[in-house]
Amino acid sequence: MAEELPLTGGCNCDRIRYALDAEPIIVAACHCVNCRKQSGAAYSVNLVMPARAVTIIGELARYEDRGNESGQAVLREFCGTCGSPIRSQPMATPKIVAIKAGTLDDPGPYPPAIHIWTCSALGWVDIPAGMPQFQKSPPGA
C-alpha cells in the first residue's frame, strides 16, 4: 500500500469529504448481511482505520444498527443527501472505524487482504484461493 497521505475520498454528491492520515490497519471484505444491504453489493470492502486518523468534512447522517449477525451495535454513517455509505463504527471498538473503500478518490491500491463473515457469503461469490477468510470476525476483532 504505502500511498501518499492523507488519503482522500467522499460521497457521490461531494457534500461529504474525508481525509485519512494513516494507512489502513487492514482492508477487509465483509460478507455479513447488514454490510451487504448497506453497500448494495455482494460484500462491502472496508478500510479498517484508527478512528483518530479520520477527519470528516460535512455532516454525516447516522443509523444505529442493532439487528446484525454479530450482536454488537454498529453506528453506520452515510451522506444524508446522496445516501453513499461512508463510515461504520462498531460500538464495541470505539478506537477503530471502517471506511468504505469504494468512497476513496483512488481505491485501486486497496484490495481486500481478508474476507470476513464468510458464513453469510453469497454462493456465487468467489473468494480467491489462499486469501485469509473467517466464518465470522477474525480473532481479536
Residue 86 reports pLDDT greater than 80: yes
d(CA 61, CA 13): 14
- Give per-residue pLDDT as tens, 18-38: 999 999 999 999 999 988 998
One-letter amino acid of 85: P
Residue 85 reports pLDDT greater than 90: yes
Q: Grid coordinates standing for 65?
A: 444498527
54/66: higher pLDDT: 54
The domains found in the chain, sorted by start residue, are 7-120 (2.170.150.70)
The whole-angstrom distance between residue 1's C-alpha and the CA centroid of its chain comes to: 17
- What DSSP assignment string belongs to 58-125? SPEEEEEE-SSTTSS-EEEEEETTT--EEEEEETT-TTEEEEEGGGBS--TT---SEEE-GGG--TTP
